[in-house]
Amino acid sequence: MKTTRIEIVEKEITTWKCDFCDKESEGNQGCCGVRPIMSCTICKSDICYSHRAWYTEDDCSDYPHGFYACPTCEPNATLAWKWAEEYAGRHDDIVEVTMKRYKEIKDGLE
């Protein structure tokens, strides 16, 4: 004997929304570790493609090492990144050096 039934299952759906515009994403999945809505590495704001800046030394590898910055953090992140490119040692992690310099810049401004 064959029987059929319909079940209604509640499902939690999370919607991510850019903190700087109306761009939204449900599921928020993308390719190669890049999602439609990402988080600012510095302040943790949610940012879409249009509102994020990507900082990396090597963008050619499969998994480039870098960080994202939102429009609020971008001016100081750019200053810190340029400083780190010039002064980071050969074996230093440039992202780590940039974050330290960003904190120094921010502390100097406040």
Q: Is residue 8 part of a domain?
A: no
Q: At residue 61, does pLDDT exceed 90?
A: no
Q: Determine, yes or no, domain membership for 43.
A: yes
Q: Between 94-109 and 74-87, two packed helices, what is the crossing angle to 10 degrees?
A: 130
Percent over 70 (pLDDT), the chain: 94
Tell me how many domains the chain contains: 1
Strand partners, 54: 68
Of residues 83 and 109, which shows the higher confidence score? Answer: 83
pLDDT single digits (tens) 83-94:
999 998 888 899
- For residue 101, name the pLDDT band (cuts at 50, 70, 90): very high
Q: Which domain holds residue 69?
A: 15-109
